[in-house]
A = this chain, B = another copy of it.
Amino acid sequence: MKLLEDGVPLAELSMERVARTAGVGKATIYRRWSGKEELFVEVVRAAEPPDPEPPGTSLRDDLVVLLESLRRRGLASRSSAILHNVYAQMKSSPRLWSEYHDTVVAPRRALAMEVLRRARENGELRPDVDLELAHDMFVGPMLVRALMRPDAELPEGLAEEIVDRVLDGLRPVSSTAS
């Protein structure tokens, strides 16, 4: 953390240097992390807001919790220079990105897919909906704002608004009812 705060680029962060900064031997570091990638991803996770736990009360409640966590992660990466720096560097290192993807991104996606699968079975989603597409419809708008448009607003209540709008659709009510 200290090395990242000091702005040391990822390419210069070796296990040796981490050990030296921490004032311990290299063996101590290797006992806990098998390599630079594993250590680094754990540092990122410690700096990120904690993973969400969907309450399981309804599709809407679960999705709001998942999207609210994305919103908070977006806000955190804007306010934390470390996180911002780290995400940017991670994207340009295929090995680090793949480690982060496998341990963080993929499980989060699997959790959301499970929430959607259950909801389709319960009748909370149209039975003919493609779950992958439903996932991208709920998560896409928040992801685009949080990660791709650094100037976009991430106001409180955005998670609720996205979930309700995607569930209800954007067509005027009168033309649906007619």
Residues on A lying within 8 angstroms of B by beta carbon are 88, 91-92, 123-127, 129-130, 132-134, 136-137, 139-145, 147-148, 152-153, 161-162, 165-173, 175-177
CB distance from A134 to the nearest CB of B (A): 6
Main secondary structure of the interface of A (DSSP, over half): helix
Given contacts A134-B170, A137-B162, 19 further A-B contacts (CB under 8 A): A91-B91, A130-B161, A132-B152, A133-B162, A136-B140, A136-B152, A137-B137, A140-B141, A140-B142, A144-B144, A148-B148, A166-B166, A167-B170, A168-B169, A169-B169, A169-B170, A169-B171, A176-B176, A177-B177
* Assembled-state Cα–Cα distance A167/B173 (Å): 11
Chain B residue contacts of A166, Cβ below 8 A:
137, 166, 169-170
